[in-house]
Chains A and B, each alone.
Chain A
Amino acid sequence: MTYLRAVYTIWLRDVIRFFREKTRILGMLGQPLLYLLIMGNGLASTFKIPGAPPGFSYIHFIYPGIIGMSVLFTAIHSAISIVWDREFGFLKEVLVAPVPRWTVAVGKALGGSTVAMLQGSILLLLAPLIGVSLSALTVLKLLGVLLVIAFAITSLGITIASRMESMEGFQVIMNFLIMPLFFLSGAMFPLRGVSSWMETLMRLDPLTYGVDALRNIMYRGTPLGDYLVQFPLGTDLLVISAMALLFVGAGTIAFNRRE
């Protein structure tokens, strides 16, 4: 009970802070929108995939990818706030409190994933504009998947952030970990017919399965579905859940280990 209370406290703080930062919400919505508009429209004309079914538009392809991207960046941003908290001292206040470290890590992971899921769900509102029809049930399923992906990524972020002493390291992490994870996931362009080493990397990228799960739920059963989806939904869900468990474990251990 006291543990739950501690998790809830840490979670609540992240959510309150999120709603208070209007510019951050705008910024984090603006970015995916921009991608969607520019890349979706700009590339759609030049970007023809051989063998694509009729009615296929590039924007259908990247829509789930952009949602994945938004969740990825928001989740990482939330996790990195640990480093800010350390720099601004608030973390000390939490660490000296009589609550186990794991509740702090889990609360943080839940807070980050809630915020990321909220971001993702706002993007789901755009579906009709893009010509994707989603039933209420589909939306619920998508939200569930978004939450799991966000939880996994926030936990990964926490694992990294608990090792980081300052914000300087953040750029390095972004450039050498987050961006490759993003591009290899097939969110922006299909990784089909690429060289085999790249395909291997793509299969190793956990985010691939997250994006694929979104496509699975959105498009399965439509002519687009067979074309866009790579793996069975079961595989996708298994991988992202395993990833969530693995990373939250790693995050908790890393967080515990700090002196």
Chain B
Amino acid sequence: MIRVEKLVRKFKNMTAVRGISFNVDRGEVFGFLGPNGAGKSTTIKMLATLLKPTSGRALINGYDVVRQQDRVRRSIGMVFQDPSLDERLTARENLYFHAMLYNVESRLFKRRMHEVLEMVELSGRAGDLVRHFSGGMKRRLEIARGFLHYPKVLFLDEPTVGLDPQTRKKIWEYIHVLREREDITIFMTTHYMEEAENCHRIAIIDHGEIVVEDTPANLKKMVGGDVITISAGNNQSVMDKLAERFGLRAVVSGRGLKVEVEQGEAFIPVLIREMGEDIASVTVQKPTLDDVFLKLTGREIREENVSTLDRRRVFARRRLHR
């Protein structure tokens, strides 16, 4: 459904996307996971015909994004990272104009409007000006709008930024239901690790390059076992001892240390016996995609930074939409 070959995009003095290639099958949910500035939005814009690739090729639904723009646009739906509603119109009008631009018959439009508004729990607010919506309601309306014309491929650029966890979960439920019923292929970007686990396959992108591409389960297997987080007074000495006594390589993560071991639960008693006095606390976790990212890039997609960034974005939206 999506076929990307050696796609490159340069801006004046920097290369945002450095020759990425991947394929997405029909009905699949494919996720792009990466930190800020990794090139996720740039890639999505190229696939949605809004930016011309510097080189390389991309086909959507069999159509070339450069030479068959109109066909591509007919095949896709798009939820942008930044707001794109007309705030001075009502929710219904925003959906209506979308339907007009995408050639949805008016009979069909009525039915689908109810359906998508129901899905994002905005049915009662159809006649209200978008200007009076909260940030989360606006986001939900944008997602509803993306589904309105039942695109073959739906692009979601960080769809749930700024939404609370319940809404996020809810939206994911709809996405899965609609995807199955309408056979929609979904390409999404995110920097929420837990959100990426909704995908069938994930590509981790960093500095414009795909670092790895696989299913979430396989990616987690790459971590090779359980992750033990240790907090200690002296990180360096604990790191040295771990290396010396167990041959384990620990990495600093936040204030503590992380190590991977095969059998987390069984390792803890051994660890306490050997080094109990150096350690303040220990936790065992099954690996998450955060750990995969940490392992592959040596850096974290730091959640606390992400949330301040979200706040900034939500703030920027508000300011923009006074």
Contacts and interface: CB of A to CB of B under 8 A. Distances in A.
Interface of A: 2, 5-6, 8-9, 12-13, 16-17, 20-21, 85, 87-90, 92-100, 259
A254 B52 CA distance: 17
A103 to B, nearest CB: 9
Contact of A259 (B51, B78, B80): B51
Most chain B CB atoms below 10 A, which of A12, A85, A92, A94: A92
Contacts of B52: 259
Contacts of B82: 89, 92
A94 B98 CA distance: 8
Interface in B145-163: 145
B83 interface: yes
B70 A13 contact: no
Contact of B50 (A8, A17, A88, A92): A92
Nearest to A89: B84
B89 A6 contact: no
B87 A97 contact: no
Contact of A88 (B49, B78, B103, B320): B320
Interface residues of B, number: 29
A159 B100 CA distance: 25
Determine chain B's interface SS by DSSP, over half rule. loop
Contacts of A21: 88
A12 B49 CA distance: 26
B48 interface: yes
B101 A88 contact: no
Most chain B CB atoms below 10 A, which of A5, A87, A99: A99
Nearest to B51: A259
A5 B145 CA distance: 19
A13 B90 CA distance: 11
B121 interface: no
Contacts of B50: 92, 95-96, 259
Interface string B98-115: 101111000000000000
Contacts of B93: 13, 16
A97 B49 CA distance: 10
A2 B104 CA distance: 11
24 contacts: A6-B101, A8-B100, A9-B101, A13-B89, A16-B89, A16-B93, A17-B88, A17-B89, A21-B88, A85-B86, A88-B86, A88-B320, A88-B321, A89-B85, A90-B85, A90-B86, A93-B98, A96-B48, A96-B73, A97-B73, A98-B101, A98-B103, A259-B50, A259-B51
Contacts of B51: 259
A5 B106 CA distance: 12
A35 to B, nearest CB: 28
Given A5-B103, A13-B97, A97-B73, 20 more contacts: A2-B103, A6-B100, A9-B97, A9-B100, A16-B89, A17-B89, A88-B86, A89-B84, A90-B85, A90-B86, A92-B82, A93-B145, A95-B50, A96-B49, A96-B50, A96-B76, A98-B70, A98-B101, A259-B50, A259-B52
